[in-house]
Structure 1
């Protein structure tokens, strides 16, 4: 097994703060953020006990590719990627909502629909839809961005009523979200895939809105294989997915859904390696590029050197 990054604990000159997310370690400076994509993996809002080799590199490089490919639509936070696991960019004030957009009746929307609901986040869903059918037009179903706990569904009207985002900014976020999703779908189609749903996060520096975080990765998006989609829908067969869903299904089949009293099943070396292999497969199918494994013999040292070089410092 290759080495993997479970966590980092660097201390850089000029550093003002540190934040450890579920999968990323964020080093804060006056005007920039340095984000290390660790190999931690989460499911059901729980960080699993073992990291997955190359997972951080996979997500970081997919995000870098799609952020670069959409920079003509909306400016983004990235200024450089000095290491396969590191992204450096502009520190801005994040909007307190995540812009979720759905092209198909899948995932959370399908579960709500099957429970008899015909409205999600204030958006009406047509009658007589089946799971994984396309919506007539993609729908935006925002969530609150919780500092702790779970994100919650919220409507456009409630966002404006509570003053979470101004009307003019929210209108711009919706325009950016639809344009990004259209570009993402076009790029997915070129790879023989369908971009089913995804989420975008935005921030602001002064009066300028920036696209932040990662986009179009298998952790933030759901993909179907285009080949066989129509036939599967006609027969009522589950669609073949390209996402983190396989990890959730492994956990569910072993009695874990993040509920009280449940224990994460044993992550054997074989399980860890198989998840790593799947993430590499996801990278190659989504990008159409061959995955180049980074050197992991001294992975923390490699990352620290890259960041110090960016900061203009020499490592001791």
Structure 2
């Protein structure tokens, strides 16, 4: 692809995003692809790429004082990528998935039920599905490449072994502060952020910066606060809805190729992405 006098080169195609080199910068282009259980499903979700991009940009701006981010421009991008691309700084990504959990759900719930702890964080007895944790916890995991297997949980001590004590401490601090601040903002809009994943890297001068996406329905578990009750499953405003749908299938073993998504499930998934965008930002999705 050529843009002006420069050549835009595809560097990497992930489950959802494509990364291009454009001069010294990167173009992070979010597609309408959707993946569950590390499998890209064959049916796209209309507008998903634009919703994730615009919501990430909104969050990057809201939380810029917590930690800087990789965004250079949301408008200086090729016309065909308008609305779903970010021109961003090249970062040396930290090979750890940084996850914060404030409620008991998903794989965290299974770990708790098995051993009363998540990624080495010991939790009290008596918690049930959707319980609010006594305090948010840092539950990092490995960061496997596409097709390289599933991410595996890491304890904090294992994270220190991987990246060193100083960086591990900063990853924990940043992840929990992003979660804390993001949760406060979302709570005012009637949304619970049960958990979230962030990705960070270092710039040329060694500054730690946020990359990829931030607090989106792909990277976070969003619940409608007025429907939350410990011991029950709140209404999801994220792609967990799609995971639950796939769990009803008897002919898919969670390996590629994934199943086609029925039209009504596509629409219901898109509606959840639009709803969380509109409730958080206060803007109407066009």
RMSD over aligned CA atoms reads: 2.0
| Alignment check: 8 A CA contact 2:39 2:257 kept | no
Check if 1:92 corresponds to 2:91: yes
Task: Provide, for residues 211-237 of structure 1, a one-character-per-residue CA deviation record: whole Å limited to 9, x for no partner.
Answer: 1110110110012222142xx33xx33
Match of residue 277, structure 1, among 248, 271, 284? 271
Distance 2:265 2:127 in 1: 36
Distance 2:66 2:132 in 1: 24
Which residue of the partner structure matches residue 37 of structure 1?
A: 30
Please give the residue correspondences for 1:120-139 in structure 2 after superposition, counting only pairs within 5 Å: 120-139=118-137
| Alignment check: 8 A CA contact 2:11 2:20 kept | yes
Check if 1:243 corresponds to 2:242: no
Shift of 1:143: 0.5
> Cα 1:256–1:62, aligned 2, differ >3 Å: closer, same or farther?
farther
Shift of 1:119: 2.5
Equivalent position SS for 2:167: helix
Which blocks of at least 5 consecutive residues in structure 1 are unaligned? 1-9, 293-316
Distance 2:182 2:284 in 1: 20
Equivalent position SS for 1:144: coil
| Alignment check: 8 A CA contact 1:197 1:222 kept | yes
Task: Provide, for residues 247-293 of structure 1, a one-character-per-residue CA deviation record: whole Å limited to 9, x for no partner.
Answer: 11222223365435x8644434444344333322232233222002x
| Alignment check: 8 A CA contact 1:44 1:257 kept | no
Shift of 1:17: 5.0
Normalization by structure 2: what TM-score? 0.89
Normalization by structure 1: what TM-score? 0.81
> Cα 1:29–1:38, aligned 2, differ >3 Å: closer, same or farther?
same
Which blocks of at least 5 consecutive residues in structure 2 are unaligned? 76-81
| Alignment check: 8 A CA contact 1:39 1:53 kept | yes
Please give the residue correspondences for 1:211-230 in structure 2 after superposition, counting only pairs within 5 Å: 211-229=210-228
Shift of 1:178: 1.5
Which residue of the partner structure matches residue 44 of structure 2?
A: 51
Check if 1:255 corresponds to 2:250: yes
Distance 1:25 1:255 in 2: 32
Distance 1:272 1:130 in 2: 30
Check if 1:61 corresponds to 2:54: yes
